[in-house]
Every structure is written in structure tokens, then in C-alpha cells.
Amino acid sequence: MRTLPGYSPGMRTQVGIVGAGPAGLTLAHLLHLEGIESVILEDRSREYVEQRVRAGVLEQGTVDLLVAAGVGDRLRREGIVHGGIELRFGGQGHRIPMSDLTGGRAITIYGQQEVVKDLIAARLSYDGPLLFEVAEVAVHDLDTPRPSITYVHNGRRGELECDVIAGCDGFRGVCRDSIPPGVLQLHERVYPFGWLGILATVAPSTEELIYAYHERGFALHSLRSPKLSRLYLQVDPYEPIEDWPDERIWEELHRRFEREGWTLHEGPIIEKGITAMRSFVAEPMHYGSLYLAGDAAHVVPATGAKGLNVAVHDVKVLAEGLVEWYGSGATELLESYSDTCLRRVWRVQDFSNFMTTLLHRLDVDAFEDRLQRARLEYVCSSEAAARSLAENYVGLEKV
Ligand code: FAD
Ligand code: PHB
């Protein structure tokens, strides 16, 4: 085995995975089921990744994949299945009956950190290599069939030699930036607003998610369990969170969700933070021996609830390609990995942009405000328009 200067002789594996988010952990699990070895390197601690509050909406296809992969027991027990959402504007609610419009498909509310916990537990149950708190991760020799990953773990330098590397290290990871300049085409749109998200220990004031359009800005009522509410407000992304004491958050939520005969219940806020809204795609999602997956390759504004779902789809496609390659040497699926994924990525980008511009206060001009209102009314009065929203929201089977 080759050794880089300053590094002790290291490990060897088939697939080196950078990042233990939903993408990296799901990939490792799918490969394990097919007898393919991998090592996951994660720069944060196990506690941190298991507590990080993020997504909460799983598409039908994501649930089906996790259940089929044997990591869906708790998800099936504790996940809350929803067959509709409410769009609220002008002081009125309009239900989009997603399951009725999509032949029975639904979403499941189950926190991303719960998915991560289940996947870590599965990984550790068979002693699958998973290193937390790894520093100075760098990928090398990507244009060769013997790439490697160097890192520091417990104060020791290590090198991991692999057949391929999966860059599952999120938007701010190192893998994407290791691709030589000029290879990737980057597409980006940064929205002039962010989301202030809170987690509150109070029973949700609604059974189904409420997406509210209001002249003061967008608001979303989601949940995590019968005792835990998750709520979001459209805010200025540069506003410091200190400017949002709890009383101000609740006051703003009350105003934006206002509807006769409906009450928003308050409770202690146990977590809050502001997230920027952006659309981003790096293409192709493949260079030499490196495959990018999930947020490392693309980011969507959270309004469509798609980020985690499309990350899981990427690694499903990657796992199928690797299984074919290790099984027969055929490279067709790996070669088409990027194109296959990008078809769904761009569909999801379009849907997320549609939901974002449908529901946020855009502050363009009065004409745009009226167009937005016309679009909202159309989605709530035309079955064809509602069905289009519904089939994208629950997740398209084929793209
Ligand atoms: P990540 O979850 O970002 O995982 C990447 C991992 O790599 C992390 O653990 C990170 O610590 C690690 N890492 C980074 N750099 C390195 C390095 N140099 N070395 C080693 N490890 C590294 N999506 C939905 O589908 N539905 C929703 O309802 C939804 N709501 C959201 C709400 C919010 C507020 C936010 C912020 C996001 C939301 N998303 C949602 C998006 C979703 O959370 C992400 O798309 C998802 O986390 C992507 O998974 P990933 O594994 O690709 O990346
Ligand atoms: C969430 O519950 O965190 C959530 C729900 C719906 C979204 C985004 C986030 O569109």
C-alpha cells in the first residue's frame, strides 16, 4: 500500500464515504446489504449528528426504501403519516388532499435526526466502520482508479485507500471543492430571505402541516411528535437570532397564522436558528473516482421539503451502480449516475422554487403580488393544479 508523506500506513476499503448525514449513512447501509465494504468518516461527534434538527418530511419513496432496507421499524411505529396539507392565505385555510390526488401516496413526519439515529444504530450493530470527530479530511488521486482519503483521528494521521469515494459531506464539505477547476458547472440562486425555525414543547395546533402566505411573510406549522411542534417564519437572513426573543417569535406566528376559529398554542422554545434559503446545483455529480451525493452536489430551499429525500435518491442510484460494477464489471449505471440523479434534482429544484415563490413575501412589486395571489387561488380551486402540487410533494415515482 502506498503511504503519503507524514501518514502512517492506513486502511483499505472498497468505498470511502465522507460524511455521516442521511446520504452517507444510507449509502453505507445499502452497500452493506449487498456485501460491499465501506468506511464512513465524519467530522462531527455522534451526539452532534444525532441531535442536529433539520428535515422532518419523508416522501413515500424514502419511507419505502428505508423500510425495505430493514431500518424502518421505528419509523413505521413513530412516524406520523399525513395525507394532506393546508395552504392558508387571506385568513382562510384550503386543504390539498394529497393522498386522494395521488392514488393513496402520503408523506411521513419523522425527524431527520431520528433517521440518522436509526442508521447509526444499524451500522454499529454489525460493526461497520464509522469514525466520528475526524479532522483534516482530504481526498486525493481522484483521476485514478486508486483514490485515497487522508484524515486525522484521535490525534493520529490516517490514510484510507479506496476504489471509489462518495462525497456525502454536505454543502460545506471538502469533496466538491477537490474537483479541479473548470470541471463543474455551478448553478446558484440565493433568495433574499431565510427561515427562522423553532422547536417548541407544545402539542401541535394542527393535525396537518400549514403553509401560510401572509403580507408580513411566509410561516409554516410543522411538527415532530404529538408533543413537539416545529414552526418556521420567513425572516431577513442577516438578522441576528438575538433580535428574535421568544415573545417576538410567538407574536409574529400568531399574526401570520391568523384564521377565525383557530388558535396557535404556545410552549417553551427548546431550539431556534436561522437558515438561508438557496438553490444550488453542481454538475456533473461525478469526477473520476469521486461521486458527489446529497447536499454536497445540490441544495434546495426547504419550502418543498425535498433535500433529504433527493439525497436518499442519489445514494440509491449510486448503490445500484456500485453493485452492478462489483458484480459484473459493467459500468453503465455508474457512468449514467450523474445524468440519472440530475433529472430528479432539476425536477425537485423546479418544485422547490415553485413552492418558495408561491408562498413567500417576494417584495418585487404590486403586480407580482397579484400574480402570486392568482396562483394560490388556482392551486386551491383547480384539481389539475392541486394534483400537480400533490404528486411533486409526496414524491414522483418516476422522473
Ligand atoms: P448533511 O446532512 O449536511 O450531511 C453531511 C455530513 O457531512 C454532516 O454530518 C457533516 O458534519 C459532514 N461533513 C461535512 N464536512 C465534512 C468533512 N470535511 N469531513 C467529514 N465530514 C464532513 N429536507 C427534506 O427532505 N425535508 C425537509 O422537511 C427539510 N427541512 C429542512 C429544514 C431545515 C431548517 C434545513 C436546514 C434543511 C432541511 N432539509 C429538508 C434539507 C435536509 O436537511 C438536507 O438536504 C439533508 O441533510 C442532506 O443530507 P446529506 O447527507 O446530503 O448532507
Ligand atoms: C419540517 O418539519 O422541518 C419541515 C416541513 C416542511 C417543509 C420544511 C421543513 O417544507
Among 57, 169, 174, 306, say which to mutate for ligand 1: greatest number of ligand atoms within 8 Å of CB: 169
Cβ of 358 closer than 6 Å to ligand 2, yes or no, is no
Low-confidence ranges of the chain (pLDDT < 70): 1-9
Q: Which ligand has an atom closest to residue 197 CA?
A: 1
**Dihedrals φ, ψ of 337, to 5°?**
-50, -55
For 130, half-sphere exposure in the C-beta direction (CA atoms, 13 angstrom radius) is: 25
CA dist 393 and 389 (Å) reads 6
CA dist 318 and 312 (Å) reads 10
Q: Which ligand has an atom closest to residue 224 CA?
A: 2
Among 52, 57, 352, say which to mutate for ligand 2: greatest number of ligand atoms within 8 Å of CB: 57
CA dist 12 and 1 (Å) reads 9
**Dihedrals φ, ψ of 250, to 5°?**
-65, -40
pLDDT in tens, 250-267: 999 999 999 999 999 999
Gyration radius (Cα) of the chain, Å: 22
H-helix or E-strand spanning residue 137? strand 135-140
What's the length of the chain? 399
Would you state the cell numbers that stand for residue 258, as one nine-digit string?
Answer: 391568523
Give the residue whose CA is nearest to atom 6 of ligand 2: 305
Ligand 1 midpoint to CA 169 (Å): 8
Q: Which ligand 2 atom sits closest to the C-alpha of 303?
A: 10
Q: What's the angle, vertex CA 355, arms to CA 310 and CA 384, rounded to 5?
A: 100
Among 54, 140, 272, 356, say which to mutate for ligand 1: greatest number of ligand atoms within 8 Å of CB: 54
Contacts of 172 (CB under 8 A, 6+ apart): none
**Dihedrals φ, ψ of 325, to 5°?**
-65, -50
The answer to whether 253 touches 219, Cβ cutoff 8 Å, is yes
pLDDT in tens, 101-125: 999 999 999 999 999 999 999 999 9
The candidate with the shortest Cα–Cα distance to 6, out of 132, 138, 179, 143, is 138
Ligand 1 midpoint to CA 319 (Å): 19
Per DSSP, 177 falls in state: G
Distance of CA 372 to the CA centre of its chain: 26
Instruction: State the pLDDT at residue 339.
Output: 98
Instruction: State the pLDDT at residue 9.
Output: 57
The candidate with the shortest Cα–Cα distance to 314, out of 133, 71, 62, is 62
Give residue for cell 407574536.
251
CA dist 26 and 320 (Å) reads 13
Ligand 2 midpoint to CA 310 (Å): 14
Count CB atoms within 10 A of the CB of residue 72. 21
CA dist 137 and 143 (Å) reads 18
Would you state the cell numbers that stand for residue 49, as one nine-digit string?
Answer: 449528528
Would you state the cell numbers that stand for residue 373, as one nine-digit string?
Answer: 395571489
CA dist 335 and 355 (Å) reads 32
The SS3 call for residue 91 is coil
H-helix or E-strand spanning residue 277? strand 269-283
* Ligand 1 interacting residues, C-beta cut-off 6 A: 18-24, 41-44, 49, 54-57, 112, 134, 137, 168-170, 173-174, 195, 197, 275, 294-295, 302, 305-309, 311
Cβ of 57 closer than 6 Å to ligand 2, yes or no, is yes
The candidate with the shortest Cα–Cα distance to 159, out of 167, 169, 150, 168, is 150
Ligand 1 midpoint to CA 141 (Å): 26
Among 308, 349, 393, say which to mutate for ligand 1: greatest number of ligand atoms within 8 Å of CB: 308
Show the DSSP H helices in the chain as ranges: 22-33, 46-51, 60-68, 73-78, 98-101, 112-125, 246-257, 307-328, 332-335, 337-359, 366-381, 383-394
Count CB atoms within 10 A of the CB of residue 320. 16
Count CB atoms within 10 A of the CB of residue 328. 8
